[in-house]
Amino acid sequence: MKKIVILLCSLLCTACMAPEKIIEMQGISTIIGFDFLDDNTFKGTISLLQFDRKEENTSVTLSAEGTTSKQIRQKLEEQTSHDITSGQLRTILFNKNMAATVGISSFLDTMQRDSSISSLIFLAITDNAEETINNTNYEEYPEMGSYIYQLLDKHEKKEMLVNSNLHDFITTLYEIGIDPTLPIINNANGVAPSIDGVALFKEDKIVGSISLINTLYIKLFTNNKAFLGDITVEIATEELEKRGMAELNLSKSDSYKITLHPIKYKGNIEIKNPEFVHLNATISVSTLEFQPSTSVKNKDSLKKMEQLIGEALNKEFRYILEELKNLNTDPIGIGRKIRSIRKYSHLTEGDLRQNYSALKIKPNIQVEIKRTGLVD
Amino acid sequence: MTKRHNNDNLLGYEKIKSILNESPDLICRKLEVGQEGIHIIFMKNLIKPEILNEYVIKYIEELSVEYLHYTYLMKNIPIDEIKVNLEEQEIISSLLNGFAYLYFLDEKKAFIVNCANPIERSIEKAETESLVYGPKISFTESLTSNVKIIRQNLNDYNLCTDEIKIGERLQKQVRIVYIKDIANHDTLQTLKDRIKQLKMEDIIDSSVLAQCLEDKHYSLLPQFILTELPDRFIYSILNGRIGIFIDGSPVAIIGPANFFSFFESTEDIYLRWSLSTFIRLIRLFAMVGSLFLTAIYVATMTYHFELIPSKLLIIIGQSRSQIPFPPLLEALLLELLIELLREAGARLPSKVGQTMGIVGGIVIGQATVEAGLTSNILIIIVAFSALGAFSAPIYEMGTAVRIARFPIIILAGVWGLNGIIVGICILIVHLLRLTSLNKPYLAPLYPLRMKDLKYFLIRLPHHFYMRRPLVNRPKDSIRLKERLKNITDLDEF
Amino acid sequence: MRSNIRFVNAFMAFYIIHTSQIGMGILGVPRIMYLESKKDAWISILISGLFVSLITWLMISILKKNEGGTLFEIHEHIFGRFIGSIFNFLIVIYFIAVHYSITISYVELSLTWGYEGVYEWVGVLALLILTIYAVSGGFRVVTGVCFLSFLLTIWLLFVVYQPLQRINLTRILPIMTTTPSEIIKGVFKSSYTMLGFETLLFIFPFIKEKNQLHLFSQIAVWFTTILVLITTVVSILFFSGKELEKNVWPVVSMISTVHFPFIERFEFVAVPLWILVIFPNLCITLYISSKGIKQIFHIKQKYGIWLISIILFICSFLITKRVDNNYFFDQVGKTGFFLWFIYPIFLYGITIIKLKINTRSRRS
């Protein structure tokens, strides 16, 4: 009796199959891009993988217009014999215009709600998403989605970007006292798309951008194991002479360029009070290149050199901070740090923003030359 | 006086002839000695003529007349085994076993002597279980020679070989082999009770007996180890298990078995510990892979394409494209194909069988992929799972794994990964509920005995094995008393 | 056949209690705790753990004072057959509710992750069949399920390593900014997750070394507390506040940032794997409730199992909406809180009074 009941139940269970998603029936989208037309109409472009035995066409791109992302999806469905799925979606591109005017949080909300979309999906900004996806130069990769994924993945793995995936972006967006950033993808005719700077957000709207190299100043304080990238500092020759480093036998050029390779670093946001903040950082570097070539041998001149480099960096950082303050965006998370102090934990987002533009920030980057390569 | 002994049990030639349905083999040799003579009745083909001639007929004929009577002959006939005080049933069955029936017409008395000429195969190399190292001999169909092999290798007066007769029509002798001061008494008693309670007309082979003795008849998993290797048999008995021989079967039964014992081979003892541990883990891994890999493929292809890494996606997608079957059907087809190849290979003569395997494997596999009926990724997976199932040292476990794969594949095809996990849950519960001779099947993992894990999951250097595994509940668990007394550090082992 | 096989070693109590505590609750606990006690949720959990540990001690004393037996037997012993049976009946209903809450919340989770379109009852039925199969094997099998499920799933803890790369320590700072009342509310809310230690009251007769039981149950409840603590703290550090408040299953979302070279989306593996985590829960609740039915109505446990299963299966057609479910879980959590956090204190008092009366009457 019992066995019959169990058998019957099993049969009943197996009769109710879960809805199938057989791999070759799926229109597997790897990248989706949103463009802003006007009057709240958007244009969505996706690249679908095509499984062809002869490996001739590996992908197809489709576009459709609509007012919400799901409506676009519906219209895209009409254009293909496959079910469009986003389980393998790796990248979402947003039009720069759209991100600057409408904001992207409404799109991200649906993305986050959809369990089939990974939270490690990459987000990026581009001038025209449709054109970028339709670009046919994608190195050795089978299609644009894979290429852009690899491009962003490389940068992510090496910690060259501040935040780039959905999870990072949303977490930063929702967090009080810090603003998110996203990579900007540059698309030009005849070449593969490349990363070209980082967009700065205020809330979910783009307010400006900085170059990939300059993100080092942000990464110093937000990520403790990022890849800072090589730093090139330019120091005026007269400055060097002023410091009594004439014995370096400088040649006659008016400026002196040094390229440094950071080995490790430590950044710290020191809150003196809500109006005054120190940004302390120490970077250990090895010198890669002196232009024109020279050698620093004694301890004294090394120290002076370190000071000079530090000053140069601080100067640039100060300039960047000024710009960030003008844009009223805080990718470094100074506000977050302020709020984590018991006295100021009551501050709201609005308070912090107001505070930010009037904030006095003192950058204090110190450089320590650890190694000089094979020669002195 | 003669009447006193003359009960109805004593059969004359005519009666025997009628009982044996006038068998043409039945021969009655009449020796004209004494007053009325002696009848020697035997079956022609079953006896060894040399014995009968030399030690019975010649012996009787050379005796002087005063010795030619029942009592003297019974005591002095130069044959090892005689039977007296006979029942009718026993006379007949003995005759059929190659005994000769000596009937003294004068005294109306009789006894039977053993002149049997059993068919025996010489001891050969093991076929189904092969070892790289270690003894190569295997059991034969003869119970006598099997007991001989064991006795020769295990010279211990505590080695018991208890005899039980089973079967109604087809009577078989069963020997229960154990070491008295090691084997657990309760287990032994359970086993004996079960054998005695068996209600079977005929038990042809030990594998039939093993199936009849199982705790749970509906289980997919074998509950006794079947082996043809004497060294494995002896190893198991030394560790407190109980062995069973049955007349006419070259395969011995070992019980109680637990799940992990099906993955140990005696070769693990012969090889060095590092390699054996590695191989044992590989076998377990292969078993798990064999059970679940095809199912995972089906689940992934049908429901969870999200799981596939980007780089694999296109390769897999291309291999699946234009295949007319859903993954479940595709996998079942290919699995069945492999099973078919295996079966055909096993039935064919060994030389042809090998060719068959290769031809079938390569040609059919290649052709199905070319024709676009299956994906080549699946071919790899199915081949791996077939290999994995064959890596189990005990053939029965391999077959169990092969069969158990199918329900899991179907579950995967119906519910995806959830189905696989449901399958795992059922498997776990089944393993937990299963017992072998009332001993838990999943021991030593559950109930957990840390000290026993080294016997089943891994293998350590030999000096760690100071005790016998406790899962068989041996009476005496200490293996090396003298050494253990001196080395107290190793006490925990 | 009252052979040795009915008993299990004392250390198995660790697996039984721990696995019956960990289940669906832990997937959502960071959010529930965060909603109440914000950044200081971890304090609530520690307090809750301390409380559970005290109650465990109390339960052991109750069991020892009543000379073994399950809670069902203790009830009959203390309150008499009739009133005791009413109490037992309530407990049985509670366990059925717990069983159902676990099943339906898992089914809901599973439907969200890749199985949309399947009817709830299919999932409920599948889980029920599994559970019936396990429970009808008796206590030994239920214990085995707890043990194996622990072994097969504890490695998921190490998966947290990957999300740990994305945490930010400032998110938990400053500590102690919430009011004590909020923290106490958090303790209250954590009950649904922490519950499961009450199993202790029902496994006592099966344990071989009874004097070691206390030690192992304490280890179990503290291990659970630490696990819940780790999950909550990592979630708070991992998500920003607003995001955590929105996420129904923050732990699953956290797992979704894990990926291996051979598995792209680990959460799609983790969600099915969670069946193994809730399987002991289901077995134990069904076992206890069927045991209760056996105690009350004096029928075979087998019939109890079938009766309860049919009730559960019918329920699966009734309560399926997210809103209803949430209300239901909340009620189960609340009842559990009063039943197992508060009631043992009374039971302890009653036991002592009863003992005093007994000794006095014996003396006179």
**Which is higher by pLDDT, C250 or A247?**
C250
Inter-chain touch B314–A49, beta carbons under 8 Å: yes
Residue B463's pLDDT is 79
The 10s digit of each residue's pLDDT in A289-324 is 776 666 666 777 778 878 888 888 888 888 888 888
The 10s digit of each residue's pLDDT in C147-176 is 999 999 999 888 888 888 888 888 887 777
Which chain A residue's Cα is nearest to C119?
Answer: A16
Residue B339's pLDDT is 87
- Alpha carbons B151 and B149: distance in angstroms, whole number: 6
Q: Give span(s): CATH 3.30.300.210, chain A.
A: 229-371
Q: Say if CB C316 and CB C120 are below 8 A apart.
A: yes
What's the whole-number mean pLDDT along residues B171-188?
A: 89
- Number of separate domains in chain C: 1
Q: How confident is the model at residue A251 (pLDDT cuts 50, 70, 90)?
A: low
- Residue to mutate among A204, A340, A348, with most C CBs inside 10 A, is A340
Q: What is the distance in angstroms between the Cα of C71 and the nearest Cα belonging to chain B?
A: 26
Inter-chain touch A13–C112, beta carbons under 8 Å: no
User: Residue B6 pLDDT more than 60?
Assistant: no
Residue A249's pLDDT is 57
Per CATH, the homologous superfamily of domain A229-371 is: Nutrient germinant receptor protein C, domain 3 (3.30.300.210)
The 10s digit of each residue's pLDDT in A29-40 is 888 888 888 777
User: Residue C2 pLDDT more than 80?
Assistant: no
Q: At what angle do helices C120-135 and C139-153 cross, to 10 degrees?
A: 120
Average pLDDT, chain C: 87
DSSP-assigned letter for residue C210: G
Q: What is the distance in angstroms between the Cα of B189 and the nearest Cα belonging to chain C?
A: 16
Residue B493's pLDDT is 43
Q: What is the distance in angstroms between the Cα of C232 and the nearest Cα belonging to chain A?
A: 16
Residue B84's pLDDT is 82
Residue B3's pLDDT is 38
- Put simply, whether B424 touches C (Cβ < 8 Å) is yes
User: Residue A21 pLDDT more than 90?
Assistant: no
Neighbouring chains to B with at least 3 Cβ pairs closer than 8 Å: A, C
Residue A74's pLDDT is 87
Q: What is the distance in angstroms between the Cα of C176 and the nearest Cα belonging to chain B?
A: 41
Residue C326's pLDDT is 83
CATH of the domain at C245: 1.20.1740.10
Residue A284's pLDDT is 85
Residue B483's pLDDT is 54
* Assigned domain for C1 exists: no
Residue B425's pLDDT is 93
User: Residue C223 pLDDT more than 90?
Assistant: yes
The 10s digit of each residue's pLDDT in B192-204 is 999 888 877 778 8
Inter-chain touch A90–B320, beta carbons under 8 Å: no
The mean-pLDDT minimum among B51-65, B248-262, C85-99 falls in B51-65
CB-defined contacts A:C, below 8 A: 71
Q: How confident is the model at residue C287 (pLDDT cuts 50, 70, 90)?
A: very high
* Assigned domain for C334 exists: yes
User: Residue C224 pLDDT more than 90?
Assistant: yes
**Which is higher by pLDDT, A133 or C90?**
C90
Inter-chain touch A115–C113, beta carbons under 8 Å: yes
Q: How confident is the model at residue A42 (pLDDT cuts 50, 70, 90)?
A: confident
User: Residue C308 pLDDT more than 80?
Assistant: yes
Q: Say if CB B150 and CB B172 are below 8 A apart.
A: no
The 10s digit of each residue's pLDDT in B76-125 is 888 888 888 777 888 888 888 888 888 888 778 888 888 888 777 788 88
Q: What does the H/E/C string look like for chain B?
A: CHHHHCCCCCCCHHHHHHHCCCCCCEEEEEECCCCCCEEEEEECCCECHHHHHHHHHHHHHHCCHHHCCHHHHHHHCCCCCEECCCCHHHHHHHHHCCEEEEEECCCCEEEEEECECCCCCCCCECCCCCCCCCCCECCCCCHHHHHHHHHHHCCCCCEEEEEEEECCCECEEEEEEEECCCCCHHHHHHHHHHHHHCCCCECCCHHHHHHHHCCCCCCCCCCCEEECCHHHHHHHHHCCCEEEEECCCCCEEEECCCHHHHHCCCHHHHCCHHHHHHHHHHHHHHHHHHHHHHHHHHHHHHCCHHHCCHHHHHHHHHHHCCCCCCHHHHHHHHHHHHHHHHHHHHHCCHHHHHHHHHHHHHHHHHHHHHCCCCCHHHHHHHHHHHHHHHCCCCHHHHHHHHHHHHHHHHHHHHHCHHHHHHHHHHHHHHHHHCEECCEECCCCCCCCCHHHHHHHCCCCCHHHCCECCHHHCCCCCECCHHHHHHCCHHHHC
- Put simply, whether C113 touches A (Cβ < 8 Å) is yes
**Which is higher by pLDDT, B10 or C182?**
C182
User: Residue B33 pLDDT more than 80?
Assistant: no
Inter-chain touch B415–A23, beta carbons under 8 Å: no
Task: For residue B304, give the nearest of C9, C114, C149 by CB distance.
Answer: C114
User: Residue A72 pLDDT more than 50?
Assistant: yes
**Which is higher by pLDDT, C364 or C196?**
C196
- Residue to mutate among A9, A12, A22, with most B CBs inside 10 A, is A22
Q: How confident is the model at residue C221 (pLDDT cuts 50, 70, 90)?
A: very high
Average pLDDT, chain A: 81
Q: C159 is in which domain, residue-wise?
A: 7-363
The 10s digit of each residue's pLDDT in A186-243 is 888 778 888 888 899 888 888 888 888 888 888 888 877 777 777 888 877 777 777 7
Task: For residue B422, give the nearest of C11, C126, C141 by CB distance.
Answer: C126
Q: How confident is the model at residue A14 (pLDDT cuts 50, 70, 90)?
A: low
User: Taking CB atoms and an 8 Å cutoff, what residues of chain B touch A23?
Assistant: 300-302, 305, 308, 316-317, 320, 327
Percent of chain B with pLDDT over 70: 95
- Residue window 38-67, chain B: list those with CB within 8 Å of chain C: none
Give the CB-side neighbour count of residue B434, counting CA atoms within 13 A. Answer: 24
The 10s digit of each residue's pLDDT in C32-63 is 888 888 888 889 999 999 999 999 999 998 88
Closest CA to A324 of A167, A179, A197, A111: A179
**Which is higher by pLDDT, A346 or A46?**
A46
For residue A85, which phi and psi values (nearest 5 degrees)?
Answer: -125, 155
Give the CB-side neighbour count of residue A56, counting CA atoms within 13 A. Answer: 1
**Which is higher by pLDDT, A151 or A345?**
A151
- Residue to mutate among A23, A50, A141, with most B CBs inside 10 A, is A23
User: Taking CB atoms and an 8 Å cutoff, what residues of chain B touch A14?
Assistant: 410-411, 414
* Assigned domain for C182 exists: yes
